[in-house]
Amino acid sequence: MGLGGYLPDEIIDEIRISNEIVGVISDYVRLNKQGRNFVGLCPFHNEKTPSFMVSQEKQIFRCFGCGEGGNVFSFIMKRENLNFPEAARVLAQRAGITIPEEDNPEESARLKEVEQAYKVNELAKDFFQYVLKKHDVAKDARSYLENRGIALETIDKFQIGFAPPSWDGLLQFLNKKGFSAAKLEELGLVLPRTKGTPGYYDRFRNRVIFPVGNVKGKIVGFGGRVLDDSLPKYLNSPETLLFNKSHLLYGMDKAADSIRQLDRVIIVEGYLDVITCHQAGITNVVASLGTAFTKEQGKLLLRYTREAVMAYDADAAGVKATMKGWQLLDDVGCRVKVVSIPNGKDPDEFIRRQGPDKFLELVNEKTLSLCDYKTDRAMEKFDIYTLEGKFKIASEVIPSIRNLSNEIEKDEAIMKLAKRLHLSPGAIKAEVDKNARDSRNNWGNRDKITGLRDNNNKFAVPGKAPKGEQDARSRAEESLLIMMLEDRDVLLTVKNAIGVNFSSRQEYLYIINLLNEMLEKELDYQPSALFDGIRDEPAAELLGSLMARDVPSENKTRFIQDCIKTIKEDELRKKREDLLSKMEEADKMRDQDLRNKLLLEYSKLI
C-alpha cells in the first residue's frame, strides 16, 4: 500500500506496532478499564454517557453512539483532520521512528530511483506534448484528434502528445537531459537494437500518446495509438518500476473525486472513450488498459464506490470482456450493471453522434442487470423454441441469479427468466435453489461434502428453508468472520473446511478475502490494518462493528466446528431439496429411470 511521501509498508507496520492504541487515545480521551476493553466519552460527538470503546487486544476503537471506528491511524486522521501519510508521520514522531529517506541508504537509493523514474516520465510526457503542439511532423496527429472532436483544452487536461516517426527522437532528447539509454530501457521508453549497429531506438514512434497516471496523477507509463491501420493499433508501456497495468485504471486520477461524489463509476474500454466522456462532462469514467479487468483494479474501485456500470464495445470481444469484468467485480463486492450501446460501437462514437445527454440516459435508465444481460447474450446463441435451447439459456443465467444476495432481486430475476423462456417460475426456482455455486466462488469442493446427518429435515419442502434455518446460517457466517478477525488460525480452519467464499453476503466476502490475501501473501496477520486500505465508509463501519464484537472464550474450537457444521448442513439441505424437486419433475414426466437415479443420489445424502 503506497503512501504519500513514499513511506514503505514495513515502516507503516512498524509505526502501527509501536503506537499502542490505548496509549495514543489516552492522550485525547480519559479511558477507564471495563472488562477486556476501555471506555470513555466519544471525542467525535457530544455525549454524557460513555459509548466510546477501545480494544487493546484488537487495537481498534469503536463508538456505539455515532458509529466512528477504526485503528490508531484512523483515530489520528479523524481527530487531527489529517490524511493518512500525515497521520503516519505524526505517529512515527511519537514513537521515535525515523523516516527512512535520511538514514537508510538502501531505502533512500530505492526512493531516489522511484523519483528519477517519475522525472523521466514527466520529461517524456513534455517531449510528446511539445511535438504534438509545435512540430510539423504532428500535423496528421492534430488533424486526427480534431476529427475525433477532442478540444485543445482536453488535450491539455489529459496531456496528450505525439511520438514522432523518427527512430530516436525521444532517446536523443532524454540523453541530453542526462539519462542513459539503459535507464530508459528499464522504464520502457526505448528498445535495444537486435540487428545492425548496436544501440537503442524509441519504443513509441508515429503514435498519438496518452500518458497514464496513477491515482495521484503522477505519470507511470504511456499508451500509443497509430494513425493508420497498422498493427498493433494500441501499444502500452511494458511492466516497469512504476507501470503495472493490472493495478491501474486510465483516468482514475481525474475521475476519483467524481466517482466518490456520485457513488458510481462507469467503466469503458479505451483511452478515447474516457477522454470523450470527460470532455462531455461525464467525469466518473475510467478504462482498463487494454487487458481483461483484474482483481487489483476492482479493489482500487472499491476505495471509492461499490456501484459500477460497464460500457464496453458492442462487438464480440467487448461482450466477452464485459462478462469477465462483470464476474470479477461481482466477486470483489461491487454491484454491477451493464449498458448496451445502440447505434454506436463504443461510448466515444455514441457521444459524438448522439450527445452526452443520450449517453447519460442510457446509463441512468437503460442499464441491464447481469441476469438480463446474460439472458440476452444466451438467446443470441441458442434456440429458445427448443427444450435443449431453453436448458442452455437457463444454465448460463441461473448461476448469476443464484449469486444474488438480495432475495427480492433474486425473485424478480427468476420471474423474468421464466417469462422469457416460457417456463414456470417454480421450475427456474428449483434450479436456482441448488446449493452448487458458480465455480468461480469456489463452491465446487463443498458440493462433494457427503455423509452428514440430515438433521431430521429429510422431508423438507423443496425451495423452503425450515423456520429459523437461514437465521442459523447467517449467525454462523457472522460468528466465523468475527473470530477470523481475531485469530489467523480460525481463518485457516474455515478455509480448509469450506473455503473462503462460504457467505452469501458480498460485504462479508469482501472482508474475508482481504484477510485471506494477508494469509496468502504471508503478511503479518493484523486485521486492524484493513482500515488503512478501506475507503468505503459502509465497509469500514461494518468492519469496526464486527471487530468490536466478542467471541466465546470457552469451548472456542467446539463453537467453530458447530458454525462450520451449520453451514455444511444448510448446503446439504439445499441439495436434498433440489433432488426432491427433480424427483417430482421425473414423476410428472413418468421417467422412472431418472427417478431411480435421483433416488439413489438422495439415499447417499441421507
Q: Are residues 477 and 606 in the same domain?
A: yes
Average pLDDT over residues 50-67: 87
Residue 314: give its domain's CATH number: 3.40.1360.10
Average pLDDT over residues 200-207: 96
Average pLDDT of the chain, as a whole number: 82
Domain assignment of residue 127, yes or no: yes
Reading the block at residue 571, the C-alpha cell is: 448446503
Q: Are residues 125 and 75 in the same domain?
A: no
Q: Count how many domains the chain has.
A: 4
Q: Are residues 453 and 589 in the same domain?
A: yes
| CB-based contact 486:527 (threshold 8 Å) | yes
Per-residue pLDDT at 377 exceeds 60: yes
Looking at the chain, the number of H-run helices and the number of E-run strands are: 27, 16
Q: Is the peptide bond before 232 cis (omega within 30 degrees of 0)?
A: yes
Whole-number pLDDT of residue 582: 82
pLDDT band at 317 (very low <50, low <70, confident <90, very high): low
Domain assignment of residue 333, yes or no: yes
Residue 586: give its domain's CATH number: 1.10.860.10
- Give the percent of the chain with pLDDT over 70: 85
pLDDT band at 291 (very low <50, low <70, confident <90, very high): low
Whole-number pLDDT of residue 46: 82
Per-residue pLDDT at 331 exceeds 50: yes
Q: Tell me the DSSP string of 418-477.
A: HHHHT--HHHHHHHHT-S---GGGT-TGGGG------TT-TTPPTT-PPTTHHHHHHHHH
pLDDT tens digit sequence for 539-560: 778 888 888 887 666 678 888 9
Residue 227: give its domain's CATH number: 3.90.980.10
Average pLDDT over residues 187-212: 94
Angle of helix 488-498 relative to helix 469-484, nearest 10 degrees, comes to: 140
pLDDT band at 315 (very low <50, low <70, confident <90, very high): low
Q: Are residues 474 and 333 in the same domain?
A: no
Whole-number pLDDT of residue 281: 96
Q: Are residues 593 and 459 in the same domain?
A: yes
Q: Which of 50, 80, 102 is the last residue of a domain?
A: 102
Domain span holding position 46: 9-102
Q: Are residues 226 and 120 in the same domain?
A: yes
Q: Are residues 229 and 124 in the same domain?
A: yes
Domain assignment of residue 584, yes or no: yes
Whole-number pLDDT of residue 288: 85
Whole-number pLDDT of residue 257: 79
Q: Are residues 58 and 91 in the same domain?
A: yes
Cα 49 from Cα 596, distance rounded (Å): 66
pLDDT tens digit sequence for 513-547: 889 888 887 777 778 888 877 766 677 788 888 88
Q: Are residues 177 and 163 in the same domain?
A: yes
Domain assignment of residue 406, yes or no: no
Comparing CA positions, the residue from 290, 303, 280, 282 lying closest to residue 246 is 290
Residue 74: give its domain's CATH number: 3.90.580.10
Whole-number pLDDT of residue 206: 96
User: How far, CA to CA in Å, does 526 sit from each of 1, 11, 491?
Assistant: 14, 14, 13
Among 39-48, 185-194, 563-572, name the most confident range: 185-194
Q: Are residues 462 and 531 in the same domain?
A: yes
Look at 592 and 508; give whichever has higher pLDDT: 508
Comparing CA positions, the residue from 257, 316, 331, 317 lying closest to residue 288 is 317
Paired sense of beta strands 52-55 and 37-40, if any: antiparallel
Q: Give the number of residues written for the chain.
A: 606
Amino acid identity, position 180: S
Domain assignment of residue 374, yes or no: no
Per-residue pLDDT at 65 exceeds 50: yes
Look at 566 and 111; give whichever has higher pLDDT: 566
Cα 89 from Cα 586, distance rounded (Å): 69
What is the CA angle 197-201-205, rounded to 5? 140
Q: Tell me the DSSP string of 152-179.
A: HHHHHHTT-EEE-SSSSHHHHHHHHTT-
DSSP character for 304? T
Domain assignment of residue 434, yes or no: no
Q: Which of 195, 224, 243 is the last residue of a domain?
A: 243
Q: Are residues 73 and 110 in the same domain?
A: no
Whole-number pLDDT of residue 451: 26
pLDDT tens digit sequence for 82-126: 888 889 889 988 887 766 555 557 766 777 888 899 999 999 999
Domain assignment of residue 504, yes or no: yes
Q: Are residues 181 and 211 in the same domain?
A: yes
User: How far, CA to CA in Å, does 432 sit from each of 329, 399, 574?
Assistant: 21, 7, 10
Whole-number pLDDT of residue 519: 83
CA R_g for the chain: 28
Whole-number pLDDT of residue 307: 86
Domain assignment of residue 32, yes or no: yes
Q: Which of 215, 243, 271 is the last residue of a domain?
A: 243
pLDDT tens digit sequence for 455-472: 333 222 233 334 344 478
Secondary structure of 201-252 in HEC code, one letter for each residue: EECCCCEEEEEEECCCCCEEEEEEEECCCCCCCEEECCCCCCCCHHHCCECH
